[in-house]
Amino acid sequence: MKVIIDSLNQIANAQKIGANTVICAHSKILEKVLLILTEEGFVRGFFKEKVGTSLKCYVLLKYVNDQPAIQKVIFESRPGLKRFKKWKDLNKLMNGVGISVLSTNQGIMTNEKAFYRKTGGQCLFKIF
């Protein structure tokens, strides 16, 4: 969870200063989160590369009309606090502009996908 929080903060801060790429520590869960962010259009893409003895994720940042694609990140769960949502409580954020990312028993997915699969889980973060 800490890797996700640190990486998303790095991405949001890099977009504020206008950077093109960010280098983050690699983990399997971060790779799945970055895949979701790529599919939803918040980042252009990512790739992993071995640097020395460790893997690093290179995230390609996206801008829309010279504005960052990621405007705000709200962390629902933290290492000391876990928030769970039932599938009936999952709704669209900001009229469909934002997404929630959940960790379910079927893997990491968006709130919309979890609603259609009728599965709840731990709400990791919301992104606009």
pLDDT tens string 9-51? 999 999 999 999 999 999 999 999 999 999 999 999 999 999 8
Task: Name the residue ranges covered by the structural domains of the chain.
Answer: 2-68, 73-127
Helix (H) or strand (E) holding 102: strand 99-104
**Mean pLDDT, range 77-99, rounded to an integer:** 86
- Cα torsion 25, 60, 99, 63: sign: positive
Architecture of domain 73-127: 2-Layer Sandwich (3.30)
Domain 2-68 matching CATH 3.30.1370.30: the answer reads yes
